[in-house]
Amino acid sequence: DALGEPRNGRVMAHFGQQVEIEAVDGEDCGLVQRCHVRANVTSLVTGDAVIWRQGPELGVVESCLPRHSLLARPNMQGQMKPVAANVDHLLLVIAPEPEPFANLIDRYLVAAEATGIEPVLVLNKVDLLQMPEKRERLEALLSIYQRIGYQTLQASTQLEQGLDHLKSLLKDRISVFVGQSGVGKSSLINALLPGVDLRVGALSEDTRKGRHTTTTARLFHFPDGGDLIDSPGIREFSLENLSPEIVAQGFREFHDYLGSCRFRDCRHQGDLGCALAEAVTRGDIHPERFASFLRIINA
């Protein structure tokens, strides 16, 4: 038939039964074509690496390569639905306003740990930290996370501060931005992806083809290297119903203690010989993080 040779590609976006594929090899690397998906290839998502063949009008996706991560969100029916594959980096954006509460950060971090995607804490709007008490409070909060091995970064889209550091982190990786509404995710993305109207980009293809629009994630290339996967749903990505065991695993500084409680079925809620509680007493686990853990599992 008129199809080309099998080659490597990346799913850029998803439109109903079809996907948009970008060639990632060959002389015309970067070429984008709308594709059918062979019936044996199940549920492709944005970010998937695929084998595909170019076609005269539509191409065809023949297989999906193994994923190293999968981001999922619950749909309207509460079922988890995969939305993005092969994401390397989760940029968790916080700001002085709206003020972050530690528990919210921990909920995002647990969700990130459960998917195996490396989180980075981005404190945006540092221009609002003129008052020393406010600055000290937020830096103390960040230091809790630095001490347990999370990378943190300060930025201000207003002062264009921290953007070069951010660009260097985004290189050679697929990233997503998450965080509560109002912290400046859109502003950061607009600063890093000048000239791209995210919403228009994600929806125009659908309307042109007269397809029913579902809000799907799209992959974008940063001009200085690296990729972004974005959709309104991804930005709100947060903790779903995870078992207490998975939540405990999501607190990375707990790992050394989880097998050491006196009782195998320790609930870490005042149980005798709880290794986590003892580590808190010794100062090896931050009391706020432990309180946050209990709040999540008892929610």
> How far apart, in Å, do the first and last CA atoms of the chain sit?
57
Considering only residues 187-246, where is the footprint of ligand GDP by CB under 6 A? Answer: 187
Cα–Cα distance between 6 and 94 in angstroms, integer? 43
Of positions 152, 186, 238, 249, contacts ligand GDP by CB under 6 A: 186
Contact status: 152 vs ligand GDP (CB under 6 A): no
Cα–Cα distance between 180 and 199 in angstroms, integer? 18
Q: Give the one entry of ligand GDP, Zn ion, none that residue 151 binds, where binding means its C-beta sits below a cut-off of 5 to 8 angstroms depending on kind.
A: none
Of positions 100, 184, 226, 250, contacts ligand GDP by CB under 6 A: 184
Contact status: 292 vs ligand GDP (CB under 6 A): no
Give the residue among 183, 105, 116, 110 at the shortest CA–CA distance from 144. Answer: 105
Give the residue among 84, 102, 75, 23 at the shortest CA–CA distance from 48. Answer: 84
Of positions 16, 74, 116, 182, contacts ligand GDP by CB under 6 A: 182
In whole angstroms, the minimum distance from the beta carbon of 30 to Zn ion comes to 52
For 66, phi then psi, to 5°, come to -55, 145
DSSP per-residue codes, 12-27: EEEETTEEEEEE-SST
Q: What does the per-residue mask of binding to Zn ion show for 220-259, with x meaning CB under 5 A?
A: ----------------------------------------
Instruction: From residue 120, give the alpha-carbon distance in Å to each of 83, 109, 149, 180.
Output: 20, 9, 10, 15
In whole angstroms, the minimum distance from the beta carbon of 203 to ligand GDP comes to 17
Contact status: 157 vs ligand GDP (CB under 6 A): yes
Cα–Cα distance between 254 and 275 in angstroms, integer? 9
Of the candidate spans 181-189, 212-220, 256-264, 269-277, the one that interacts with ligand GDP by CB under 6 A turns out to be: 181-189
Contact status: 127 vs ligand GDP (CB under 6 A): yes
Contact status: 280 vs Zn ion (CB under 5 A): no
Show the tokens assigned to 292: 């946050």
DSSP per-residue codes, 50-88: EEEE--SSSEEEEEEPPPS-EEEEE-TTS-EEEEEES--
Of positions 51, 266, 291, 297, contacts Zn ion by CB under 5 A: 266
> How would you class 115 by CB atoms within 10 Å of its CB: exposed for 0-12, middle for 13-18, buried for 19 or more?
middle
Q: Between β-strands 59-64 and 32-37, what pairing exists: parallel, antiparallel or unpaired?
A: parallel
Q: How many residues bind Zn ion (CB under 5 A)?
A: 5
Of positions 261, 279, 280, 296, contacts Zn ion by CB under 5 A: 261
DSSP code of residue 208: H
Of the candidate spans 15-23, 25-33, 167-175, 179-187, the one that interacts with ligand GDP by CB under 6 A turns out to be: 179-187
In whole angstroms, the minimum distance from the beta carbon of 273 to Zn ion comes to 8
Considering only residues 174-213, where is the footprint of Zn ion by CB under 5 A? Answer: none
Is 199 or 295 the residue whose CB approaches ligand GDP more closely?
199
Q: Give the one entry of Zn ion, ligand GDP, none that residue 183 binds, where binding means its C-beta sits below a cut-off of 5 to 8 angstroms depending on kind.
A: ligand GDP
Please name the residue that has the structure tokens 């509404």: 181
Residues engaged in binding ligand GDP (CB under 6 A): 124-125, 127-128, 156-158, 181-187
Residues engaged in binding Zn ion (CB under 5 A): 261, 266, 268, 274, 276
